[in-house]
Amino acid sequence: MPAGTYTLTAKATDNQGATSSASAVSVSVVNNTPVAATLLDPAVSGSNFSFSFATQTGPSYTVQFTDSLSPLA
């Protein structure tokens, strides 16, 4: 979704056609360039790989994985 400010409104309709709308809310979308994380203490034990990384308050993090060593497409 492109960066910007959006206004969202929820509308419900029941099985008899009656409707109700919620108050509009404003949502801001910010597209920041991801920053690479440095893996700390990477370790392999059997078929398990573990690591840690430093975090900051506020951002959310997503970890992606593959069960093969083939490059991701």
- For residue range 24-69, list pLDDT tens digits in order: 999 988 877 777 788 888 888 888 888 888 888 887 787 777 777 6
The verdict on residue 73 lying in a domain is: no
Name the domain count of the chain: 1
Question: The domain containing residue 41 runs over which residues?
Answer: 4-52
Instruction: Determine, yes or no, domain membership for 66.
Output: no
pTM over 0.85: no
Q: Residue 62 has what pLDDT? A: 78
Do the domain assignments include residue 41? yes
What is the rounded CA–CA span in Å between residue 5 and residue 68? 40
The CA distances from residue 55 to 29, 30, 34, 47, in Å, are: 21, 19, 13, 26
